[in-house]
Structures are given as C-alpha cells and as structure tokens.
Amino acid sequence: MKALVTGGTGFIGSHLVEALLQRGDQVRCLLRKTSDMKWLKGFSIEVTYGDCRDRTSLKEAVKGVDQIFHAAGVTKAIHEKTYFEVNALGTENLIQACLENNPSIQKFIYLSSQAAAGPCRNGNKKSEPDPCEPVSAYGQSKRRGEELALAHAHQIPLLILRPCAVYGPRERDIYTFFKLLSKRIKPCLSGEDQHLSLCYIEDIIRAILLAAQSQTSSGEIFFLSDGQDYRLQEMGDIFARAMEVNAYCVRVPKWVMMRAASFSEYFSKVLRSPPLLNKGKVEEILQRNWVCDITKARRVLGFEPRIPLEQGAKLTYEWYKKQNWL
C-alpha cells in the first residue's frame, strides 16, 4: 500500500506517518520548503514539495498513491482568511488534484475537527446528524472543507473524521495546561464547569487506520474521542495527579481571556507569527459542552479507545519531561 500524508510534520501527521510505516506502507509526505522535519527524522519516507493553497504543486504528490490522509491544516493564523485558504480551499485543491491525476484512489481521509460541528447545545453529546454550528473562524473553515469534500463524495471514496481535542507527545496546545500545572496553577473558568471530549494520540491514529480500511460508503462523517465526558476541572485534576503536583484553581473571567486574546492578536500582527490565543479560540474555550458521541465510529469502524485519560496524561507528561519541555 502506498500512502500520501499531508501535514506529516505536524502533531497528528507525524504520528500517522510512524504508524503507516509500522503497518508496512510506503509513505510519501507532502511538505513545504519551510517545513520543520524534526518529527520525521530517521523515517524512510518519500518527500514531495507543495502547498495546499497551490493546486498545481499537488499534482506529483497525489500520483500513484492508494490512499490519501489529509492532515494538513491551520489551527492558528494571523489573518482569518488563512484558515479558509488552507483548511477549506486547500482541501478542495487536493481533491481536484486527485481527480485529475489519480481518479482511482482507494481512499481519501480528510481530518476535519469537532470544531467544524461546533459545541453541543442540547445537553447531550453531539452526534453526526446534529446541525453544524462552528463558533470560530477555524471551525467554520473546517466545516467549509467538509462541505467542499462532500461535494466530491460521488467521485472518490472519501471519509471525514472529526477528532476532539487530541493530546499526547509532540502536542503544543494542551501542553500549555501542563506548563501552568507545573507552576501549580490550574486554570478554571468562571461560572459553570465546562464539559469536553479528549483523546490520546495513539487512539486517534488507530481510528484513522480503521477508517482507511473500512468499506463504509463514501461521504460518511465520524466523531472521534476516547468516549468519555470530562469536566475541565476534572481534566486539570487528572493531569495534576499524573504530574504529582498540587495545583491551585485560578479562576479566569471571560473578560480577562478576551483582553489576553486581543493583546495576543495585536502582537501576532506586529511579530508576524500566529497568536497563542485569539478571540475565536476564547469563544471555543467558553462553550459549555464540547462532548461528542463516538457510537457511530464504534459501530461502523470498530473503533474502541484503549488509553484512559489517567494513562494518557502520564505518558504525555513523561514525554514532555524527557524532551525538557517541562
């Protein structure tokens, strides 16, 4: 089997490349000339250069592969339009390149996001048939990417995966939470506690591989998580236990987060580097229910999460320590 992975230098993509190689696949990675290859060092991969925003640059990348794993995406950007250029139009470009240069592709997996569907409004878990109500430009761009992909579901066999917040080695967002805990600060939101889904990277990778093997019909969408419903405070407690620290809950009011996002956005424009926090991210953080339902992934893909949060937190913390990130 020959696979193309986009986003192979990233958190999820690099773990996926590793798993595909372990499965015995030949792996081609679409990289940019500026891509940092540190997580791909030592892997026997074929490299092709291109950018999702430039359709012609994708032509050689898609030729002759059996499966495409589209994990390239922008989760932080200086300008909102970048989300749409990469996450939405970039997906359309890759599919078009595939239709023109490899129309007999066996599977196209698009890594979307729970953010494309938005938070759960009815108090239950969000499931695939629920309406999509993304609350950030990132979420809207991922949903647009889904819509553009779905328009081609009759032309190529494609599946859309919507992972929740993924954590594990090499991850840099939830890492901030670990960093604060290492300073004995457990950030808590003011008011009612938030509910969320989480998943350890190893489980996400297994779900992606199951989706690639599945015979289910083109155009199906699957939420992915470890199947649990966590409260934000509970997550902090579990991480703190894994790190063996006593952390103190520091309540952060909404206005403080919004002010921090404004500063962060301002400096990101000055420094020309994506902000750590932006108003869209704050809007996402403030939603009360980010729990998704993985019944469909269990039933159709045979996905069964294996790593509970306690174990995943320990593995992640040990990796951060080994890398001197903490």
Q: Which is nearer to ligand NAP, 245 or 296 (CB)?
A: 296
| Distance in Å, CB of 316 to ligand NAP, minimum | 12
Contact between residue 20 and residue 71 where contact means Cβ atoms under 8 Å apart: no
Is residue 139 at the binding interface for ligand NAP, with CB under 6 A as the rule? no
Contact between residue 223 and residue 126 where contact means Cβ atoms under 8 Å apart: yes
Q: Which of 17, 25, 73, 316 binds ligand NAP (CB under 6 A)?
A: 73
Is residue 32 at the binding interface for ligand NAP, with CB under 6 A as the rule? yes
Q: Which is nearer to ligand NAP, 90 or 157 (CB)?
A: 90
Cα angle value 45/49/55 (rounded, 5°): 130
Q: Which H or E run contains 70?
A: strand 67-70
Q: How far apart are CA 108 and CA 157, in angstroms?
A: 6
Q: Which of 26, 35, 106, 287 binds ligand NAP (CB under 6 A)?
A: 35
| Distance in Å, CB of 114 to ligand NAP, minimum | 6
Is residue 289 at the binding interface for ligand NAP, with CB under 6 A as the rule? no
Is residue 169 at the binding interface for ligand NAP, with CB under 6 A as the rule? no
Backbone φ and ψ of 248, nearest 5°: -110, 135
In 3D space, the residue among 296, 300, 312 whose CA is nearest the CA of residue 230 turns out to be: 312
Is residue 6 at the binding interface for ligand NAP, with CB under 6 A as the rule? yes
Contact string 80-99 vs ligand NAP (x = CB under 6 A): ------x---x---------
As given in the structure block, the two tokens for residue 139 are 């979420």
DSSP single-letter state for residue 40:
G
Q: Which is nearer to ligand NAP, 49 or 263 (CB)?
A: 49
- Residue 113 pairs in a beta bridge with none
| Distance in Å, CB of 156 to ligand NAP, minimum | 19
Is residue 163 at the binding interface for ligand NAP, with CB under 6 A as the rule? yes
Residue range at the interface with ligand NAP (CB under 6 A); choices 17-25, 69-77, 121-129, 267-275: 69-77
Contacts 24+ apart (CB under 8 A), 255-258: 257/282, 257/285, 257/286, 258/282
Q: Which is nearer to ligand NAP, 163 or 236 (CB)?
A: 163
Q: How far apart are CA 176 and CA 231, in angstroms?
A: 18
Residue in the structure block whose two tokens are 């929740």: 164
Longest Cα separation, the chain: 57
Residue range at the interface with ligand NAP (CB under 6 A); choices 67-75, 96-104, 233-241, 242-250: 67-75
Q: Which of 3, 4, 5, 10 binds ligand NAP (CB under 6 A)?
A: 10
As given in the structure block, the two tokens for residue 206 are 């297994």
Binding interface with ligand NAP (CB under 6 A): 6-13, 32, 34-36, 51-53, 71-75, 86, 90, 111, 113, 142, 163, 165-166
